[in-house]
């Protein structure tokens, strides 16, 4: 304690002695000669621009100082650099030729006065070709619309990214918790189906993310929704349409939003459609540990036909990581690539837990013979032969791959920096396309 007070006293004395220390004073005095207007006058190219300002007319002028702040940098840091100082009161522009590779660049013009005070004005330049930033923890694809949908479970933010033009085309903030979304076409138009924590399926336009319609499903939350052939299959905590307490999956016609069937073994489960199958689905429990597997089938009208159930102990099953093989005869899940057949029989692991590798997502070649494995903690995707389990190829990604998709002969990787850029949960991300 004595050391603390002694240090405090020294600090006070030192501060008192430094009477000429620069004092930062952010202020603006409109209507007099000391007001300065700072602007970006011209953007010459991607890394060069011209900054101009009006003359500071005060007699207390000592110098101009121009500071550049850039964020985020490649390593998530914030860079602050003084790029110009001059005592010439009539110098009123500066050409920036060394713009850092950063999305948001702030230029701060400071007038340092003779009494060592500073007055500041600032302007922000957004470098559109630098890093993209978004708040998301999952992604979905619409191959017909050539869009990726980056979404955040906790805040309901969704970003639509055109992966042909490589541009963000829409953003929305639903301001509520959401869960696993789906994307599909309805009457030839792309739609996004968003299950919410307050019992709704929100139907958004797949191009601009505006709200088109909504369905009240009920219950405390909807965990998952699947869209297949203009039918919506949703897993909820509500069983009001059911004849028993276990049927928490509701099947809707998209056209009139009417319930046409109920099924399921668990409430608030994760759903998967087995591609190219005759309406075969997988259900993974999210409220039962260990995770249980269930399978169910509906007919063309949406009426449930059959369902089965199995519990696996000692095998990794992850509701957040699950994808269908192209033929719909099996599916993959878990950090290790655990494969089950459509009848819920265990097949194999792509890697063994002892290998020390973990995966965040999977994708397949058109015939399912090659499994593309996105690494959880390494910036790469590994192509593994399904039959021999031998590594055939490796793709290097810019950041950690979060989700991967295949569109024709392109492998699309949504990558995210492991560091948050802001308190809003935003991260630097990139979208890469690899030719297969």
Condensed to tens digits (0 to 9), the pLDDT of residues 372-409 reads 999 999 999 999 999 999 999 999 999 999 999 999 99
Q: What percent of the chain has pLDDT over 70?
A: 87
pLDDT-based confidence at 78, cuts 50/70/90?
Answer: confident
Q: In the predicted model, what is the mean pLDDT of residues 201-230?
A: 94
The pLDDT assigned to 151 comes to 95
> Is residue 17's pLDDT more than 80?
no
Structure tokens at 161: 């990214």
243 vs 239: CA distance, rounded Å: 8
**What does residue 356 show for φ and ψ, rounded to 5 degrees?**
85, 5
Condensed to tens digits (0 to 9), the pLDDT of residues 257-308 reads 999 999 988 878 999 999 999 899 999 988 877 888 899 999 988 888 988 8
**What does residue 271 show for φ and ψ, rounded to 5 degrees?**
-110, 150
Condensed to tens digits (0 to 9), the pLDDT of residues 317-326 reads 889 999 999 9
pLDDT-based confidence at 10, cuts 50/70/90?
Answer: very low
pLDDT-based confidence at 314, cuts 50/70/90?
Answer: low
Task: Decide if 156 contacts 173 (C-beta within 8 A).
Answer: yes
The most distant pair of C-alpha atoms in the chain lies apart, rounded to whole Å, by 87
- CB-side exposure of 123: number of CA atoms within 13 Å? 15
The pLDDT assigned to 422 comes to 62
The pLDDT assigned to 24 comes to 36
Condensed to tens digits (0 to 9), the pLDDT of residues 40-63 reads 999 998 889 999 999 999 999 999
> Is residue 21's pLDDT more than 70?
no
Task: Give the chain's domains with CATH numbers.
Answer: 23-126 (2.60.40.10), 350-436 (no CATH)
| β-pair type (338-341, 79-86) | unpaired
The pLDDT assigned to 266 comes to 81
390 vs 279: CA distance, rounded Å: 33
The pLDDT assigned to 77 comes to 62
Tell me the whole-structure pTM to 2 decimals.
0.78
Chain position carrying tokens 């007919």: 299
Q: Is 338 helix (H, G, I), strand (E, B) or coil?
A: strand
Chain position carrying tokens 């121009």: 66
44 vs 41: CA distance, rounded Å: 10
The pLDDT assigned to 74 comes to 58
Residue 28 bridge partners (DSSP): none
Closest by CA to 167, choosing from 141, 194, 128, 140, is 128
Distance of alpha carbon 356 from its chain centroid, rounded?
26
Q: How many Cβ atoms sit within 10 Å of the Cβ of residue 330?
A: 18
> Is residue 436's pLDDT more than 70?
yes
Torsional class of 46: left (φ above 0), alpha (ψ -120 to 50), beta (otherwise): alpha
Q: What is the mean pLDDT of the chain?
A: 87
The pLDDT assigned to 244 comes to 59
The pLDDT assigned to 288 comes to 77
The pLDDT assigned to 196 comes to 96
pLDDT-based confidence at 185, cuts 50/70/90?
Answer: very high
Structure tokens at 109: 């013009």
pLDDT-based confidence at 76, cuts 50/70/90?
Answer: low
Condensed to tens digits (0 to 9), the pLDDT of residues 105-138 reads 999 999 999 999 999 999 999 887 777 778 899 9
Distance of alpha carbon 165 from its chain centroid, rounded?
18
The pLDDT assigned to 360 comes to 97
The pLDDT assigned to 423 comes to 59
307 vs 350: CA distance, rounded Å: 27
The pLDDT assigned to 12 comes to 34
């Amino acid at each position: 304690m004595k050391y603390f007070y002694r240090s405090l006293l020294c600090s006070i004395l030192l501060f008192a002695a430094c009477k000429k220390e620069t004092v930062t004073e952010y202020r603006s005095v409109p209507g007099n000669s000391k007001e300065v207007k700072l602007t970006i006058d011209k953007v010459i190219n991607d890394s060069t621009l011209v900054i101009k300002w009006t003359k500071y007319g005060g007699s207390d002028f000592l110098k101009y100082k121009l500071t550049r702040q850039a964020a985020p940098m490649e390593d998530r840091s914030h860079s602050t650099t003084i790029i110009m100082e001059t005592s010439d009161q009539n110098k009123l522009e500066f050409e920036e030729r060394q713009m850092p590779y950063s999305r948001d660049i702030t230029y701060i013009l400071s007038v340092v006065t003779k009494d060592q005070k500073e007055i500041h004005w600032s302007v922000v330049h957004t470098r559109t070709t630098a890093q993209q930033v978004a708040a998301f923890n999952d992604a979905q694809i619409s191959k017909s619309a050539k869009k990726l949908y980056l979404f955040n479970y906790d805040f309901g933010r969704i970003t639509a990214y055109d992966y042909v033009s490589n541009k963000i085309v829409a953003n929305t903030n639903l301001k509520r918790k959401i869960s696993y979304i789906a994307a599909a076409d309805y009457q030839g138009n792309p739609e996004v189906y968003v299950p919410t924590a307050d019992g709704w399926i929100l139907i958004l336009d797949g191009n601009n993310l505006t709200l088109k319609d909504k369905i009240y499903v009920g219950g405390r939350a909807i965990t998952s929704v699947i869209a297949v052939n203009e039918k919506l299959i949703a897993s909820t905590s509500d069983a009001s349409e059911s004849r028993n307490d276990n049927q928490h999956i509701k099947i809707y016609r998209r056209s009139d939003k009417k319930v046409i069937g109920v099924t399921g073994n668990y409430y608030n489960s994760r759903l998967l459609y087995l591609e190219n199958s005759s309406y075969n689905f997988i259900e993974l429990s999210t409220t039962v540990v260990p995770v249980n597997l269930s399978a169910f089938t509906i007919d063309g009208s949406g009426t449930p036909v059959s369902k089965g159930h199995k519990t696996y102990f000692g095998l990794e099953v992850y509701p957040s990581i699950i994808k269908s093989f192209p033929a719909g005869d099996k599916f993959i899940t878990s950090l290790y690539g655990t494969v089950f057949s459509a009848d819920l029989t265990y097949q194999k692991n792509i890697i063994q837990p002892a290998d020390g590798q973990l995966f965040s997502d999977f994708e397949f070649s058109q015939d399912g013979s090659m499994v593309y494995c996105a690494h959880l903690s390494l910036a790469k995707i590994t192509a593994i032969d399904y039959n021999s389990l031998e590594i055939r190829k490796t793709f290097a990604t810019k950041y950690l791959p979060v989700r991967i998709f295949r569109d024709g002969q392109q492998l699309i990787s949504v990558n995210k920096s492991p560091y948050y850029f802001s308190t809003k949960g935003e991260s630097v991300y990139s979208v890469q396309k690899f030719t297969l």
